[in-house]
Amino acid sequence: MANTPMMEQYLRIKNDYQDAFLFFRLGDFYELFFEDAKRAAKELEITLTARGKGEDKIPMCGVPHHSSKQYIRQLIEKGFKVAICEQTEDPAQAKGVVRREVVQVITPGTVMDTGAFDDKENNFLIALSESSDNRETALAALDTTTGEFRLTKLDSNDALISELAVYQCREVVIDDSIDEDALNALIEPMGMTVSKVTITPGSSPPHAVSKVEDYELLRVADVLFHYVGHTAGGALEHVQMADVYIRQAYMHMDAHSKRNLELTGTLRDRRKQGSLLGVIDETSTAMGGRLLKQWINKPLLNIDQISSRQRIVRSLMDYFFERQSLKTALQGVYDLERLSGRVAFGNVNGRDFIQLKHSLEKVPQILDLIRDIAGDDSMPLIEGAETCDELRELLEVSIQENCPVSITEGDLLKDGYDEQLDLYREAMSNGKSWIAELERQERAHTGIKSLKVGFNKVFGYYIEVTKANIAALPEGRYERKQTLSNAERYITEELKEKEQLILEAEEKSVKLEHELFLEIRDRVKAYIRPLQKLAKTISAVDVLVSFAEVSEQNGYVQPTLKANGPVKVIHGRHPVVETMIDHGDYVANDLTMDEDKDILLITGPNMAGKSTYMRQLAHLSILAQIGCFVPADEAELPVFDQIFTRIGAADDLAQGQSTFMVEMLETRQALKHATRQSLILLDEIGRGTSTYDGMSLAQAVIEYVHDTVQAKTLFSTHYHELTQLADNLERCHNVHVAAREEDGEVVFLHKVIDGPADRSYGIYVAQLAELPREVIERAKELLADFEAQAQEVSTSSAVPSARDEQIPLFDASVMESERTGKEKEVLAAIQNLNLLHLTPIQAIQILDDLKQKLT
């Protein structure tokens, strides 16, 4: 196929940007060709056309330049990259094909257009690199919009996955130390874009890594900045000093547990409303919102740090009126972090500066108030925070309050800021008043009252006279310029001269204003660091004020934390569930656990409130460890190093895993990684398989936790047979959620009390759900049968202890030859069952069939 010179240019450029959609500028459009065109047409739902004819036809599609942003955003949100290729010379001057170059590559992790995100969300780009002994993975994280920059090392794949989940990043950059296929397999369900680079040593901005000595961390930083340098165009002034952290310094929760606990989004649709964050986010600034989310994802382990946050919250609660003033002041603060990013990137406008000025006006008040309220406790917060007075003054004298969005069309700067600009403006305004005067003079001179002087962009200034009055005009003085249907427009020599002066002054003034604005922008660059420090202080104050607000509004209490101490919660409530039901309807519950009682077996009917009770403790602990107060009358808590959960029906179909497999994977995480300082929540373990299978697993898990892991554990189960375990395992205790039967119906009391539930009320819940009456009746019959049979089978204990197997069918002491044909048949049927694909109901039916066979 014979290519035109332009297509050759296209192919040459495309060759360097294989993994991105190449937006190729052609006049007022960005065009895409070949495969790019086919895919973009599908993703963006735009028409696929063709360039050329017959055999030389090339698939093509395009988007108008002026509305390209929305299309680019769509592609980025879907995880793609876009390379913007502009015409870099004036087409009128070009000899041959216009020169074109890629001026920017936009990727999910480096996009600067914050309109693409929620203001309260970070957008982290992650880089990974493997240590030379392959034992650790170094991780670098950068939010290009705010400049936040973190470094850490991870010692396992599990740690890597959960850290990636913390950052909720959309793009990962790796160097050749990482096996791309293996990584892709690991992170595929998380929907991230992976890019591989060959590292250029020394890519990192020196100020950001000046205190980093570790070779592996420096290397991963280079991977990150090598990539950022090639995409974000190297705007790195706003990158903050690396925060090198150790993962173990924070409470750990794996990705599953975080999702299960609905910390920052609901399980069903990941919405903030309905999550823990949704309840406690009363922050006033976008920066505060982002910091709160980071805190929830990383609760503290250090009691001193926690107490210091708690003391500030306490003071903020005590000083109600001052807190209100603080909140009002915070509401006037703009996103200083993202602004710093835009200053570095060079895309701020006058309005940003006005908002910055107003924010800086609030700063002294904010710092004074928090100092007054929290005294010495505020010191670590506000240390090093500067009020940036000179910057505020600069913006005050320079930028006009009602300036336009554009920085190239004037009206940006105040009078008196620059002498030359004032001169131009004077010329313009003198000229304009001269013109106004001209109208008066001409009217007097001609006696035409309707004569007017006007201006339009095409013809410039003119004198307009209606056709009826033309006769009254003196000869030779006016030169005709334009004829309208009922008027004529004229110009005079004098008017022409003035027009020249005015337009020249206007043009020069606009140009000068632009230059002066860029100069101001450069001066603001020098304040990036202090602004970022200020942003840190203000966002932390904002979060703590939010804690105080929420604690007061929702009646939270300050918890006492003791390392390795007991759990003593009096009248605890679930922070989210209590906001979802009518006020006062929430039934508060106590929860105590200590050295002699570290496993609670929770029984009770479905829908009684077992999972709520379990999650409640996790939420209380997380709130406590981020420094917030907790929903209870009294709370004494240990510092949990990790929380593991296996809760609810988090069926991860997207990951291609069955419910039961997910259940087992989550259980494995807990059994493998939990320590004595951890909290484990296991909800209905074994439910996803057949009854005996499930019950055996559940029992084995409890025994293992009791004997080996010894973590504080809440275990809910509908196998109320398991409650007898408490007799054998000394630190295992029974509690149950009370329900009452009234006129054949179950009334849930949501009250947790000591001791085992006397029965499971599954059939009643089925009745509530209005299953057909025949089903309910049959289930009751079956239940009666099963219970009678269990009585027969039981000798000393109703629970088949894994240590003391009691089901005769499986009894190894029964000789094969002693079994009847029926028994053999039943055994074979059981052996052939695929337990992974059985629901409890199916299991019961099969059990019933088997039973029939044996009778």
- Binding positions for ATP are 604-611
Least separation in angstroms between CB 692 and ligand ADP: 22
85 vs 103: CA distance, rounded Å: 6
* Residue appearing with tokens 């089901």: 807
Among positions 549-608, residues that touch ligand ADP (CB under 6 A) are 577, 581, 585-587, 589, 604, 606-608
Q: What letter does residue 334 receive in the DSSP assignment?
A: -
Q: How far is CA 573 from CA 115, 176, 554, 734, 738, in A?
A: 38, 50, 10, 20, 16
Least separation in angstroms between CB 783 and ligand ADP: 19
Cβ atoms < 10 Å from Cβ of 515: 11
Question: Which member of 611, 625, 678, 690 binds ligand ADP (CB under 6 A)?
Answer: 611
With respect to ligand ADP, which residue has the nearer C-beta, 218 or 279? 279
Q: Residue 33 in contact with residue 10, Cβ under 8 Å? A: yes
Among positions 54-83, residues that touch ligand ADP (CB under 6 A) are none
With respect to ligand ADP, which residue has the nearer C-beta, 289 or 631? 631
Biggest alpha carbon–alpha carbon distance for the chain: 134
Which segments of 727-852 are extended strands (E)?
732-742, 745-754
Least separation in angstroms between CB 587 and ligand ADP: 4
Least separation in angstroms between CB 270 and ligand ADP: 19
Residue 610 lies near ligand ADP (rule: CB under 6 A): yes
748 vs 750: CA distance, rounded Å: 6
Q: Residue 611 in contact with residue 648, Cβ under 8 Å? A: yes
With respect to ligand ADP, which residue has the nearer C-beta, 182 or 581? 581
Least separation in angstroms between CB 554 and ligand ADP: 15
With respect to ligand ADP, which residue has the nearer C-beta, 577 or 843? 577
With respect to ligand ADP, which residue has the nearer C-beta, 106 or 647? 647
Among positions 785-824, residues that touch ligand ADP (CB under 6 A) are none
Least separation in angstroms between CB 404 and ligand ADP: 52
Q: What are φ and ψ of residue 252, in 5° steps?
A: -105, 135
Residue 609 lies near ligand ADP (rule: CB under 6 A): yes
640 vs 352: CA distance, rounded Å: 43
Q: Is the dihedral of CA 590, 595, 598, 600 positive or negative?
A: negative
With respect to ligand ADP, which residue has the nearer C-beta, 84 or 577? 577
Least separation in angstroms between CB 581 and ligand ADP: 6
Least separation in angstroms between CB 754 and ligand ADP: 16
- Residue 240's SS3 state is coil
Task: Count residues binding ligand ADP (CB under 6 A).
Answer: 15
With respect to ligand ADP, which residue has the nearer C-beta, 403 or 752? 752
Question: Which member of 750, 760, 838, 843 binds ligand ADP (CB under 6 A)?
Answer: 750
Residue 612 lies near ligand ADP (rule: CB under 6 A): yes
Strands 479-483 and 732-742, by their bridges, are unpaired
Q: What are φ and ψ of residue 157, in 5° steps?
A: -65, -35
Sheet containing 712-716: order of strands? 252-253, 642-646, 679-683, 712-716, 599-603, 732-742, 745-754
With respect to ligand ADP, which residue has the nearer C-beta, 337 or 721? 721
Cβ atoms < 10 Å from Cβ of 706: 20
Q: Please enumerate, by residue number, every residue annotated as part of a binding site.
A: 604-611
Residue 841 lies near ligand ADP (rule: CB under 6 A): no
Least separation in angstroms between CB 635 and ligand ADP: 16
Return the residue nearest ligand ADP (CB atom): 609
Q: What are φ and ψ of residue 479, in 5° steps?
A: -105, 125
Residue 720 lies near ligand ADP (rule: CB under 6 A): no
3-state secondary structure 60-71: EEEEEHHHHHHH
Q: At what angle do helices 336-345 and 528-553 cross, to 10 degrees?
A: 160
With respect to ligand ADP, which residue has the nearer C-beta, 409 or 633? 633
Interacting residues toward ligand ADP by CB under 6 A: 577, 581, 585-587, 589, 604, 606-612, 750
